[in-house]
């Protein structure tokens, strides 16, 4: 399955999703602060994401996800959450599990991810 957007854009969308849950008036500087990127770097990616219909930027420069952007962000976030949870259940430290999940969430196959979700679900029951 061909990915719709790059790994970098997936990271931006996931970051926007998480930050927007904490802060309704999200600006590019908030993304800069969260990801540790420069303002010019974030501005270039924001412009690209807006052009690709993944985000909206209103007259006050508030950033929000479009439906298309939200779907991608939620999918990446679900993968991140489930994979890190799985790693922690097998004894990986929280810090390492979160870092490793961030690396894997973009490349893991749907089949493997579905099996991880089923395994987590069966462990909870």
Instruction: Evaluate whether 56 touches 103 at the Cβ level (below 8 Å).
Output: no
CA dist list (Å): 112 to 1, 90, 121:
14, 16, 14
pLDDT digits (tens, 9 = 90+) for 6-56: 999 999 999 999 999 999 899 999 999 999 999 999 999 999 999 999 999
Give the residue from 66, 87, 113 where a domain finishes. 66
Are residue 57 and residue 81 in the same domain, yes or no? Answer: no
Choose from 3-12, 63-72, 99-108, 112-121 the range with maximum mean pLDDT. Answer: 63-72
Cut 0.85: pTM above it: yes
CA dist list (Å): 61 to 39, 47, 83, 96, 97:
14, 12, 33, 35, 34
Are residue 91 and residue 120 in the same domain, yes or no? Answer: yes
> Which residues constitute the domain of residue 51?
7-66
Are residue 50 and residue 87 in the same domain, yes or no? Answer: no
């Amino acid at each position: 399955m061909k990915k719709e957007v790059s790994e970098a854009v997936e990271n931006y969308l996931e970051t926007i999703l998480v930050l927007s849950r904490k802060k309704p008036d999200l600006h590019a500087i908030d993304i800069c602060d969260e990801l540790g990127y420069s303002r010019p770097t974030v501005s270039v990616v924001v412009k690209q994401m807006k052009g690709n219909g993944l985000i909206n930027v209103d007259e006050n420069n508030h950033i929000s996800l479009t439906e298309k952007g939200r779907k991608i962000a939620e999918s990446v976030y679900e993968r991140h959450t489930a994979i890190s949870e799985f790693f922690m259940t097998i004894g990986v430290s929280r810090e390492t599990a979160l870092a490793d999940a961030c690396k894997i969430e973009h490349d893991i196959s749907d089949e493997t991810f579905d099996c991880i979700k089923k395994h987590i679900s069966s462990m909870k029951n």
